[in-house]
């Protein structure tokens, strides 16, 4: 069983729509959760971190964490073509584990 699982996609949404990206993890005692965006050929850049159950909003991005269900998600509102990238979920406790990423395409 993979430690951090993401749907590989591609996930395609029209411009202006909400994109929903999901991530599940196996280590029940994980304490920190991160979403990174990675453009093709580039390195990951941090979008958001979340540590407590519930929602955390930052501009067009909302991270949602449910530790009981071992689930973390990222919502992107008003999606733009510039949001087209691969989104990596990372889960931390004693170490950091990364999912393989979900490729998002936002069509104009």
Partner 1 sequence: DGGITQSPKYLFRKEGQNVTLSCEQNLNHDAMYWYRQDPGQGLRLIYYSQIVNDFQKGDIAEGYSVSREKKESFPLTVTSAQKNPTAFYLCASSIRAGMGLDTQYFGPGTRLTVL
Cβ neighbours around 72 below 10 Å, total: 25
Binding site for partner 1 (CB under 8 A): 4, 8, 30-32, 34, 36, 42-46, 49, 88, 90-101
Q: Tell me how far, at minimum, the Cβ of 5 lies from partner 1, in Å.
A: 10
Nearest to partner 1 of 58, 78 (CB atom): 58
**Cβ-contact 62, 83 below 8 angstroms:** no
**Rounded least distance, CB 83 to partner 1, Å:** 19
CB of 45 to partner 1, least distance (A): 7
Query: What's the rounded Cα separation, in Å, for the pair 2 and 99?
Result: 8
Cα distances (angstroms) measured from residue 33 to each of 5, 40, 71, 108: 13, 23, 10, 30
Q: Which is nearer to partner 1, 57 or 78 (CB)?
A: 57
């Amino acid at each position: 069983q993979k430690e951090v699982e993401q749907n590989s996609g591609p996930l395609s949404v029209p411009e202006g729509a909400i994109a929903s990206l999901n991530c599940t993890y196996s280590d029940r005692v994980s304490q920190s959760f991160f979403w990174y965006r990675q453009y093709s050929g580039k390195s990951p850049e941090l979008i958001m971190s979340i540590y407590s159950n519930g929602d955390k909003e930052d501009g067009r991005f909302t991270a949602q964490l449910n530790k009981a269900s071992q689930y973390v998600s990222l919502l992107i509102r008003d999606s733009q073509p510039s949001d087209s990238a691969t989104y990596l979920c990372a889960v931390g406790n004693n170490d950091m584990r990364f999912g393989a990423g979900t490729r998002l395409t936002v069509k104009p």
